[in-house]
Amino acid sequence: MGEPQAVADDLEALIDDMDYLPGHFHLELQLNLEPRSPAALRARDLKLQREGLRQELGLAAAPQRPAVRHLLGALAFHLEELDEARARFLEVAREDPCNLNAWANLAHVHGRLGQEDEEEACAARLASLMGLEADPEAAREAQLRAARCLAEQGYAHGFDVGCAGLEERARVLAAGIALYDKALGYGQQVPAEEKRGWYFTMATFFIRLDGIFMELGSEEQKRLSAFNRTLALLRQVLKSSDPHYKALAWCYLGMLLERKDTFSTTPMGVHDCGYSGTDPLDCFGKAIEIAKDQPLILNRLAKIFHFLGKQDMATGTCNMALDVLRDPELNGQAYCTRAKIHIRAYLHDLERAKLGLGGMPDRNHLACAKADLEEVVKVCPGFRTYLDISQVYYYMGVDAVQELLAVDEAALNQALVFLAKAGESELGATLPEVPLLRGKCLRVKGEEANAAACFKRAVELDDAGTGRAEGFGCLLEALLSQWSQEQLSDGELGCEVDTWLRRAQDKYPEACLRQELQRVWRGRTDEVLGLARALVAQGRLALVRLLFETMERDGGGASAPRGRRALSC
């Protein structure tokens, strides 16, 4: 046996006696487990996550960049881009030759490539760094390397791919926090500023975890200790010299102080950390003040404000970012976020109008969004920008009541042109939003058969467990329209509905599916009753039962069916 192999065997024995294991490919992440989704959809999700991480790399402080690069390498590995994965891990090893995860990950990649000599050499290097050949004086450095190894692994848990539901996401986030806690146990020698970066990531995980607990309706006692700890972590992050950490810490503190009212009594952490009289708006203001000259941080804040529903604050922050850097090629994010704010405002007013709760939505929002997105499309187009501007043109082209009438044929055609460009990209071709919006455009243009084909594709591309079943609802409406226009027979309609409803039942949560069926029932009561009669005649009783259970939950009575097709059996 050669010397590298002997060291590798010794390394394996050493690891058996340790409470951590370097590398990312053994972590209990969905990323490392057998895929649940088809290969094409998993590849799409991995690439979307990679796109977000590349943006994260631009904002990350120097000590955190290895963690980002490791995860980029792991994503490349699972995409079978082994040369790219190796390059990412080598990049970390060159910058920090003592990085444990770099050598463990490189060994894994070389093993997959069948390069045994290189794999053994990486294992030997890892053994040396973990203390197998170290003298007692090197113990401090070994502890520091272990701490950083664990922190990098903890970071990866915030970017897992393929979690099936909220409970699973919560488990992964909790595991990431536990790894950071273990890292802190090893990390007495870690510089204070580097630790503050860890505290920031931990606080981010805790905030996401708290959001999941709120969504699940968990008891407040389950949230309380983590909430108090998050406040303490952010208090430490506020001492950071990094404006990115400091600005976002103030923003997150504002979020938590707003959430304190979701508890029956104010959490003690608010008082323990000295925030008893602190106004959340003051926290948001301090965040903006710190970031006022840094467009990348302002853009991050704007996205958070947009997510929180603080649209005026988000718009003002985008404007500040554009005042600093107006070039759309360098600061396209500010234009895109501001456009999303206008789109969201229009859609909010549109939904209220549909429910009879408000007047017609202000179409000036669409004009503003269009102007911003056109600035970006000119210089740095991408599938996301194409999709956003397609959405704007779609709403410009349809009526602002039921989205069933074309009011601007040219706008609808322009939406279809941009959707075609979005679909040309590898990622755009796998996003359900693209065929869904294309189907809506074609439906308004009267091309029901083409629209139905697009909606089918949208359902196929939806992830299992997704909370939006809009593609299926639109498909059902398109099939009903074809049937009422005698483009489909009763038998053809029954077969289509049977096939796609069963697919939908396998893909969407029951509550989401019922909500979408309810929407179709409300808008097309007569046709749904006619559909039910056709299904009964064909013996498809299980589907009829689901439809009528949905009608009963709606609480509305059925009007007598009108029209020949509604009476058909």
What is the model's pLDDT at position 114?
Answer: 96
**Of 469, 464, 425, 426, whose CA–CA distance to 30 is shortest?**
464
The predicted pLDDT at position 517 comes to 86
pTM of the predicted model as reported, rounded to 2 decimal places: 0.89
Report the pLDDT value the prediction gives residue 12, as an integer from 0 to 100. 62
pLDDT digits (tens, 9 = 90+) for 270-315: 999 999 999 999 999 999 999 999 999 999 999 999 999 999 999 9
Residue 238 · residue 231 · CB < 8 Å: no
- As a whole number, mean pLDDT of residues 255-264 equals 96
Q: Output b/e per residue, 351-389; b: 16+ Cβ within 10 A.
A: eebeeeeeeebeeebbebbbebbebbbeeebbbbbbbbb
- Encode pLDDT of 189-242 as tens digits: 899 999 999 999 999 999 999 999 999 998 999 999 999 999 999 999 999 999
What per-residue confidence (pLDDT) applies to 553?
64
| Mean pLDDT value across residues 442-448 | 95
Average pLDDT of the residues of the chain: 90
pLDDT-based confidence at residue 13 (cuts at 50, 70, 90): low
Q: Identify the pLDDT of residue 564.
A: 31
- DSSP-assigned letters across all residues of 269-330: HHHHTT-TT--HHHHHHHHHHHHTT-HHHHHHHHHHHHHTT-HHHHHHHHHHHHHH---TTT
**What's the average model confidence in pLDDT over 110-129?**
94
Q: Is 72 within 8 Å of 60 (Cβ atoms)?
A: no
Kindly tell me if the per-residue pLDDT of 132 is higher than 60: no
- The CA distance from 342 to 339, in Å, is 5
Query: Is residue 143 within 8 Å of residue 20, measured between CB atoms?
Result: no
pLDDT value for 137: 58
**pLDDT at residue 11, rounded to an integer:** 54
Q: State percent of the chain over pLDDT 70.
A: 92
Is residue 497 within 8 Å of 535, Cβ to Cβ?
yes
2 — pLDDT class (breaks 50, 70, 90): low
The beta-carbon contacts of 174-180 under 8 Å, at least 24 apart in sequence, are: 174/209, 175/28, 176/205, 177/202, 177/205, 177/206, 177/209, 178/154, 179/150, 179/151, 179/153, 179/154, 180/150, 180/151, 180/154, 180/205
Residue type, 44: R
Q: Region 437-461: what's the mean pLDDT?
A: 96
Longest Cα pair distance anywhere in the chain, in angstroms? 91
Higher pLDDT, 261 or 130: 261
pLDDT value of residue 418: 98
- For 9, how many CA atoms within 13 A lie in the half-sphere containing its CB? 6
Q: Is the pLDDT of residue 3 over 70?
A: no
Tokens coding 138: 């090197």
Question: What pLDDT digit, counting tens, does each position of 146-203 carry?
Answer: 999 999 999 999 999 988 889 999 999 999 999 999 999 998 889 999 999 999 999 9
* pLDDT for the residue numbered 556: 46
